[in-house]
Amino acid sequence: MEHADAEREKALIAIIEANARDPKRLLQILWQAQDVCDWISPQVVAVLGREMGLPPARIEAVAEFYAFLYTRPRGKYRILFSDNITDRMAGSIALFEHMAKRLKLRPGQVSDDGLVSIDLTSCTGMCDQGPAILVNNRAITRMTPRRVDEICELVRGRVPLADWPADYFKVEDNIRRADMLLGSAWVPGDALQAAIARGPQGMLAELKRANLRGRGGAGFTTGVKSEACRNAPGDVRYIVCNADEGEPGTFKDRVLLQSFAGRVFEGMTVAAYTVGACKGFLYLRAEYRYLLGALEVQLALMRAQKLLGTDICGVPGFNFDIEIHLGAGAYVCGEESALIESLEGKPGRPRIRPPFPVTSGYDGKPTVVNNVETLCKTLEVAINGGAWYEGLGTKQSTGTKIISVAGDCERPGLYEYPFGVRVAKVLEDCGARNPIAVQVSGASGICLSEREFGRRIAFEDVPSAGAFMVFGKTRDMFEVARNFAHFFAHESCGFCTPCRVGTALVANLMDKIAAGRGTQYEMNELLRLHQVMRTSSHCGLGQTACNAIFDTLQKFRPSYERRLKAVDFEPAFDLDAALAKTRELTGRDDANAHLGVEA
Ligand SMILES: Cc1cc2nc3c(=O)[nH]c(=O)nc-3n(C[C@H](O)[C@H](O)[C@H](O)COP(=O)(O)O)c2cc1C
Ligand code: SF4
């Protein structure tokens, strides 16, 4: 064995041991192995399989599922351009092409010397400061042609990432409007003391009184979910904080984790006290890996303050601690059962439900999965009580909501409002430029036209997980929907046929229309596929994948129609175009040329 191979194997064994040889930590082990070995080579798989007693196929299945784990060599510098529509609007594709040209690379290609690779990736959650890129999973925002040139020089000079200018990696919070969460002070331990004074049943009562609803999208009542978990049989329970934040256009959880992490962790601990959980996981999307170090420091601080660990706040038997797990580039892992699969070190495919996580979640034990913002809200309810909380917002949507505003506006960033705020008010506050549409709640959400700007952000009107993308009058809403169609085709986990096949067909149909070869047939087909996927996909990804197409077809139909051919149907495969080159080479242009028949 070569010396370098032996060293690498030693490092891999150390990683496996540091992770207690636990197959549930396989995804974390693969991350760490990739950090050491650059990619998950067959040798890495063999060592992991041998040392952990796992079949290689099990390890390969995990490595191949996640976009940020590489089963083929990638460059020492792995550059990924965020491909959300707002990054595109800020000029990301021209910058991508500029960098590819300067580095003499095609998308996905690794340079011959193995130094660098460049590609696109799904939204990196930096829409308020795009165009953004990831270099070896470190976010760089506000890209310009000059910055592209500088980065090309740094790469060519093989300058270690640690020596790149620090201001490249600055991620701003951009808090534009603060309310009861973003604008209040946090005194560590206050919420826990208040929760302890109420007791678990008292906390459940306050959460229900508050009518707190989950901020992750579905708006499920937090108190009801927590109660179901508390009442589920068994002694071991878990709290999971969903920080996967993969919905294009959403970045509020990034800010909460960057500048309000203590509240997130204390919120998790209050939730643990309420349901009787002994352990918590923060599932952090890989795009936010830059936060990992600071989050670990915050956890250590809270352990030292007795806000985590054993006998928390001096209460005998109140034991709870939090572990951070890194995702690896899979939007579907935001779906709570897929997230649990991923936490267990498996490919993140949504489970068949029931059973629901509250009775059978992580490791088959009762588990509450909550969004980052929901856990911050849990803290507010603990401190101020349900009656106070219920008085804010609307009847069915109590409290405030943080909205991530991006796109065509003067002041992109976070805006916190009491629920019920009108879309027009948000547009006014952010300085929207001649808006014709707003995509609320991300690619899977709702596209509102000008006529609907009087509607309210609330579960009873326009529900929102947080994204608010503004489109000005120069924007082409067909292209917005096409970008989303490609996002879903890329992110479908492939488990169920309606979504696996449907998202690919939809992306192809949109490309065909974009190429000017679409007809009324394709328009009808898009609507038919929307119905099929909405009603028969296994999880929310497939069920919502065509929402934007459906909405834009109703509200921005001319953006589709002006691309259509005035015929009933145009075949997707253009035989003449495919044969043109051969005809040129053979010098034959007769009707039988492709049939092998003599002219
Ligand atoms: C495809 C898909 C992606 C999702 N992504 C997220 C996410 O990134 N963050 C999140 O909190 N919820 C996400 N959800 C919703 C979760 O499944 C779950 O409802 C949520 O985490 C529950 O937390 P809450 O009750 O606090 O809202 C996603 C759902 C689907 C179907
Ligand atoms: S709907 Fe899509 S993402 Fe969800 S399980 Fe089916 S294939 Fe996977």
The pLDDT, as a whole number, for residue 220 is 96
Say how many Å lie between the CA of residue 356 and the centre of ligand 1.
14
Query: To test ligand 2's pocket by mutation, which of 493, 506, 532, 536 has the most ligand atoms within 8 angstroms of CB?
Result: 493
Ligand nearest to the CA of 349: 2
Query: To test ligand 1's pocket by mutation, which of 124, 274, 282, 336 has the most ligand atoms within 8 angstroms of CB?
Result: 336
Between CA 466 and CA 444 the distance in angstroms is 12
Between CA 244 and CA 250 the distance in angstroms is 11
Residue by residue, DSSP assigns 434-500 as SEEEEEETSTTSEEEEGGGTT-BBSTTSB--SSEEEEEETT--HHHHHHHHHHHHHHH--SSSHHHH
Between CA 361 and CA 193 the distance in angstroms is 28
Find tokens 């529900």 and name the residue: 463
Ligand 1 neighbourhood includes 466 CB (under 6 angstroms): no
Residue 17, both tokens? 């041991």
The pLDDT, as a whole number, for residue 596 is 62
Say how many Å lie between the CA of residue 514 and the centre of ligand 1.
32
Instruction: Give, using CA atoms, the residue closest to atom 6 of ligand 2.
Output: 496
* Residue closest to 199 by CA, chosen among 276, 312, 307: 276
Say how many Å lie between the CA of residue 282 and the centre of ligand 1.
13
Ligand nearest to the CA of 245: 1
User: How far is CA 457 from each of CA 13, 453, 554, rounded to the nearest angstrom?
Assistant: 51, 10, 21
Ligand nearest to the CA of 352: 2
Residue by residue, DSSP assigns 52-94 as HT--HHHHHHHHHHSTTS-SS---SEEEEEE--HHHHHTTHHH
Ligand nearest to the CA of 65: 2
Helix (H) or strand (E) holding 188: none
Between CA 121 and CA 301 the distance in angstroms is 34
The pLDDT, as a whole number, for residue 597 is 63
Query: To test ligand 2's pocket by mutation, which of 341, 541, 543 has the most ligand atoms within 8 angstroms of CB?
Result: 541
Ligand 2 neighbourhood includes 121 CB (under 6 angstroms): no
The pLDDT, as a whole number, for residue 26 is 98
Between CA 464 and CA 459 the distance in angstroms is 7
Instruction: Give, using CA atoms, the residue closest to atom 24 of ligand 1.
Output: 214
Cβ–Cβ < 8 Å for 277, 237: yes
Query: To test ligand 2's pocket by mutation, which of 499, 505, 506 has the most ligand atoms within 8 angstroms of CB?
Result: 499
Say how many Å lie between the CA of residue 71 and the centre of ligand 2.
23
The pLDDT, as a whole number, for residue 595 is 65
Query: Which residues of the chain carry a pLDDT beneath 70?
Result: 1-2, 567-569, 593-599
The pLDDT, as a whole number, for residue 179 is 97
List beta partners, residue 324: 282
Q: Cα-flanking dihedrals φ and ψ of residue 103, to 5°? A: -90, 0
Residue 52, both tokens? 């952990």
The pLDDT, as a whole number, for residue 2 is 67
Model pTM? 0.95
- Residue 185 CB-density burial (10 A; 0-12 exposed, 13-18 middle, 19+ buried): exposed
Say how many Å lie between the CA of residue 496 and the centre of ligand 2.
5
Q: Which atom of ligand 1 is nearest to the CA of 375?
A: 26
The pLDDT, as a whole number, for residue 1 is 57
Strands (E), 222-346: 238-243, 279-284, 321-326
Ligand 1 neighbourhood includes 374 CB (under 6 angstroms): yes
Q: Which atom of ligand 2 is nearest to the CA of 542?
A: 1
Ligand 2 neighbourhood includes 545 CB (under 6 angstroms): no
